[in-house]
Amino acid sequence: MLNNRFVTGAPVWVDMCAPDLGSVRNFYRSLFGWELRQGAEDVGGYSQYQLGDRTAAGAMAIPAEEAPPSWTLYFRTPEVDATVKAVEQAGGRTLFEAVDILDLGRMAGAVDSADASFAVWQQGELKGLDVLNEPGGLVWAELYTPDVPAAVAFYEAVFGWQTTEASFPGGSYTMVHPADGTADDMFGGVAPLATDPTEAGSEAYWLPYFQVTDCDDMVAKARESGGTVRMDTVEMEGVGRFAKLADPAGARFAVLQPSPPGEQGQ
């Protein structure tokens, strides 16, 4: 699972955009207890979702004509500019050029070879999120793509990710972890779009999972708060209970209630 070691290639940040952050403020407060802290002018109004005094995610108001409401994952790199070149060499492209964010770090936006968007972060004073792998925090990431082997090859070329295949009745699931990590640093999976009824017809994209203590309660709260339940609660042995949701603006994400530690991976 995710942790705050923040090794190269690991997720270190996640943020969402919507035309009006006020339209989703109460939604995320209801689900996760997040409070939206408005950003200052020196960071372009970039805001943060806080759980207490810790940062769980970022947020930015972006007009709908510039970007659809969505969540974006950031992966750590020691050198943004070199990673951007690696993205282009591997068949991806740059969404926006590398830029310094005060003394906090340096970032760039990109899409992979199947047009799934993501961002890269070169840490300065800001290493990453404070809330990870606990209720209200990012706990997993899933890439939906039309060609799993091609996607794996792309991210191996860019970040050096390593993979492990997990078998389940009827198939297998490709899990990824950083080159500098171990199987204990697994942070996500790669899944084919065509085999998931919820995702069939969708474009390639990264889906963030946030940890919760009661998946059914989150599904009910999402409905009550104006969100959409894209996939109702599913239970998977050794993993836990999870559901796919979208906020009132349409940004997609998932929630995961992990199995008790003694039951995980069984």
Mean pLDDT score of the chain: 93
Q: Where are the domains of the chain?
A: 11-123, 138-263
pLDDT of residue 19: 96
pLDDT of residue 265: 55
CATH topology of domain 11-123: 2,3-Dihydroxybiphenyl 1,2-Dioxygenase; domain 1 (3.10.180)
Pick the more confident residue, 171 or 24.
24
Q: Which distant-in-sequence residues (6+ apart) come within 8 Å of 248 by Cβ?
A: 23, 24, 27, 225, 226, 227
What is the assigned CATH class of domain 138-263?
A: alpha beta
**Whole-angstrom Cα distance, residue 174 to residue 148?**
8
- pLDDT of residue 266 exceeding 60, the answer is no
Q: Summarize pLDDT for 83-129 with one digit per residue, the tens.
A: 999 999 999 999 999 999 999 999 999 999 999 999 999 999 999 99
pLDDT of residue 172: 86
- pLDDT of residue 262 exceeding 60, the answer is no
Tokens of 65: 């004509």
Domains 11-123 and 138-263 agree in fold? yes
Q: Which of 184, 240, 250 is nearest to 209 (CA)?
A: 240
Q: Does the model's pTM come out above 0.75?
A: yes
CA 222 to centroid of chain Cα atoms: 19
CA angle in degrees (0–180, nearest 5) for 242-248-252: 40
**Whole-angstrom Cα distance, residue 79 to residue 121?**
8
